[in-house]
Structure 1
């Protein structure tokens, strides 16, 4: 994928098509995998998941974000970079109580549009590359990240006990989608080429 981000990029359904979903199962499976890999590349979301900012279901919420993006292509005739970016930012704010203001969602959104175009052209090289990079990362990862919770500078008069609570270090176990499936004794679905298919969680917001 090109390093230059085209914020105006979009994809549009062909004439006669009600939405952007692929009729070919392999194309659709590869595209959904590509969306998942791009969502996992978003550092802001990864940090939120690792630190449990979305509660005990943080990892499940990340998979829900993937499903929401995929649903855009299953329900819309036109999807552009801005729509995907706004959907990602809204999900972070609504599900993880986090406002992302560093434009980091933009390259993720642009990447998803580009992946759709490639899958439409039967080019799965980027998706396969992202998947291999992700699996390699899981093999080499340390498994834990330490987050230091600093004292609130706007509340310097906090009690000693409160300061101790604010200075505590949390060790957060990184939980990826594959880990969840292992814990739930659910085997991942693999297609004929050996690629794991995205399993939609079906979770929607309750509020």
Structure 2
């Protein structure tokens, strides 16, 4: 009896998927939707599916050997947020999210993981601060330390590296 193994994902694509996940994790509107379960009982699953839909969007662009268009990605993000999480974005945040996703895609295709690594480092720092703050909160029960746990989400920063490598394609 033979077992079929999943095809191995190219490291560039793997980094891109990780980057998409990091960007969505930082998106305030989506974080609120998840925290408040605006997608119903399957909110977390819908969030995971969102990563897959975004990656599939970029796979389609790569298959056509085209350059990703921000407006197409913005429309996809708006549709997902509306259909899956009942959110009608009015803050234009989909534009900034699309911009950084395109940057990550372009970088990862070229084998450059600097933005993905930066986002991973930021996540690790947030998680470390979160666990430190929870320990402080436990030791100072009743104290007013809410400000210690607050942090700015900040804006995404992007670079405009335009490389046309096919390294994102699966092996």
TM (norm. structure 2) is: 0.65
Aligned to 1:138: 127
Q: Match for residue 115 of structure 1?
A: 104
> Match of 2:37?
52
2:48 is the alignment partner of 1:63: yes
TM-score, normalized by length of structure 1? 0.55
Tell me which protein shows more strand as a share of its residues: 1
TM-fit CA distance, 1:135: 2.4
Indicate the residue corresponding to 2:146 in structure 1. Answer: none
By how many angstroms is 1:118 displaced? 1.0
Aligned to 1:39: 24
Which of 63, 82, 89 pairs up with 1:93?
Answer: 82
RMSD between superposed Cα atoms in Å: 1.9
Q: 1:55 to 1:115 in 2, by over 3 A?
A: same
For the residues of structure 2 that align with 1:74 and 1:120, how far apart are their CA atoms?
11
Judge conservation of contact 2:81–2:88 (CA < 8 Å) in 1.
Answer: yes
Instruction: Report the 3-state secondary structure (helix = DSSP H, G, I; strand = E; otherwise coil) of the residue aligned with 1:33.
Output: helix
CA distance in structure 2 between the aligned counterparts of 1:99 and 1:24, rounded to whole angstroms: 34
Partner Cα separation in structure 1 for residue 20 and residue 36 of structure 2:
22
> Match for residue 149 of structure 1?
none
> Unaligned stretches of 5+ in structure 2?
1-7, 135-171
The reply to whether residue 102 of structure 1 matches residue 102 of structure 2 is no
Within-5 A mapping of 1:69-88? 69-76=54-61, 77=64, 78=66, 79-88=68-77
Question: Residue 122 of structure 1: SS of its match in structure 2?
Answer: coil
Q: Which secondary structure does the structure 2 equivalent of 1:86 belong to?
A: helix
Kindly state the Cα deviation for residue 24 of structure 1 after the two structures are TM-superposed.
7.2
**4+ runs of 1 displaced by more than 6 Å?**
none
Q: Which runs of 5+ in 1 are unaligned?
A: 1-22, 144-207
- Give a deviation string over 1:87-117, Cα, whole Å, max 9, x none: 1111111011110111011111010111111
